[in-house]
Amino acid sequence: MPSMIDVKCKGGCGKLVARENKTGLCAACYRAARAAAVPSAQVTSDLERQRTQGELTSLRRRYDEALKTIERQDKELRTVGDLGDGLQTFLIEPSTRSGTSEATAVMCASDWHVEENVGAEVSGLNHFNLEIARNRATRFFQKGLRLVNLLAQDIKIPQIVMPLLGDFITNDIHDTDMNEVQPIAALIEAQNMIISGIEFLLAESNYNLIIPCHSGNHARTTQKTRFASEHGHSLEHLMYLHLATYFRDDPRVKFLIPEGMHSYVQIYDQTIRFHHGHAIKYGGGVGGIYIPVNKAIAQWNKGRHADLDVFGHFHQMRDGGNFICNGSLIGYNAFALSIKADFELPKQALFLIDKKRGRTCTWPILVG
């Protein structure tokens, strides 16, 4: 008689099993179920074969990719080899001086304003006094000669043209209280700096010196500029005469001291017009000095043509192609601020006139 707590086997065999049997299976059905849960040898073999096949497929794919990479690299190597077969080179030999080339260096000096004090009025952008003027003048001659000597390594340079283009002193024409010494003392300081520089160039080189001299608008003895008789009212004109007298016995130094606004120097086939630049009226326009300078040059060329104009006055170094505007030794000051000139470090201009090619290069002589 079955117990009230027995139930039928879940395996479907009809046998009774105790209700508390967690599997719900009789012993025979439980063994059969366990046997079915273990994969047969065939199933295991099929799984192993499938895994092996996947690995072989992956290896074959990587092998094919490696073959393609080898083939591509082999083509690239063949291409490089083909290019190498067609290379053609030529020998570049060091250039040596032929002895027939020649050039003249032009080393411009202007707008030194040796006695003027500069500082607070330009918000500290520049500082200048008599001691700084001496130091900057010294650097002008030292660095200028160094540049010329560098150029002379490749071309024969027998002479330096060193135009003195005016405004070596500020003077007291504007009743300024910014000057460190009075005009005559300032003029003597400027004269001593120039003499010292010329003697330095003569002692440290074999160059001949040609020195065109022009008065600026600051060294005048009159309140207003007098263009017709400017030289007769210029302290700088007197200084130039003193300089010429000082070096009168030196055959390597030649001074050109015109009484008019312009001087003309023929350097090979180039006509150079020198002047201070104060006859050019610049109103601080958007185009800078270029438009008024070119208008003035066009008018002057109607009387006598010049290939190049060289001047100072504007305290900004500019190469306009047909003109060179020299920078200043004093640097940015109240005048530069008032005419709305670009801020510029103190510098002077140096350029080269080649015998065959004309003007070939322009450099700043940085003195600050």
Q: What is the pLDDT of residues 26-52, one digit of tens each?
A: 888 888 877 776 656 666 777 777 788
Q: What pTM value is reported for the model?
A: 0.74
Residue 312: both structure tokens together = 């100072």
Inter-CA distances, 197 with 8, 143, 354, Å: 129, 11, 25
**pLDDT > 50? residue 303:** yes
pLDDT one-digit tens code per residue, 131-143: 999 999 999 999 9
Amino acid at 115: E
pLDDT one-digit tens code per residue, 182-204: 999 999 999 999 999 999 999 99
pLDDT number for residue 125 = 92
pLDDT number for residue 299 = 96
Reported confidence tier of residue 73, pLDDT bands at 50, 70, 90: confident
Percent of the chain with pLDDT over 70: 88
Average of per-residue pLDDT across 314-328: 96
Reported confidence tier of residue 82, pLDDT bands at 50, 70, 90: low
pLDDT number for residue 2 = 47
Compute the radius of gyration of the chain from its Cα atoms: 46
- Which of the listed ranges 88-92, 209-213, 229-233, 338-342 does the model predict with the highest average pLDDT? 209-213
Average of per-residue pLDDT across 205-216: 96
More confident residue, 345 or 86: 345
Reported confidence tier of residue 153, pLDDT bands at 50, 70, 90: very high
Question: Which residues have a Cβ under 8 Å from the Cβ of 230 and sit 6 or more positions away?
Answer: 215, 220, 237, 261
Average of per-residue pLDDT across 95-123: 87
Average of per-residue pLDDT across 112-118: 95
**pLDDT > 60? residue 4:** no
**pLDDT > 50? residue 242:** yes
Question: Which residues have a Cβ under 8 Å from the Cβ of 210 and sit 6 or more positions away?
Answer: 159, 160, 161, 162, 254, 256, 265
Question: Which residues have a Cβ under 8 Å from the Cβ of 165 and sit 6 or more positions away?
Answer: 108, 109, 110, 111, 214, 216, 274, 275, 276, 277, 310, 311, 312, 313, 326
Average pLDDT, the chain: 88
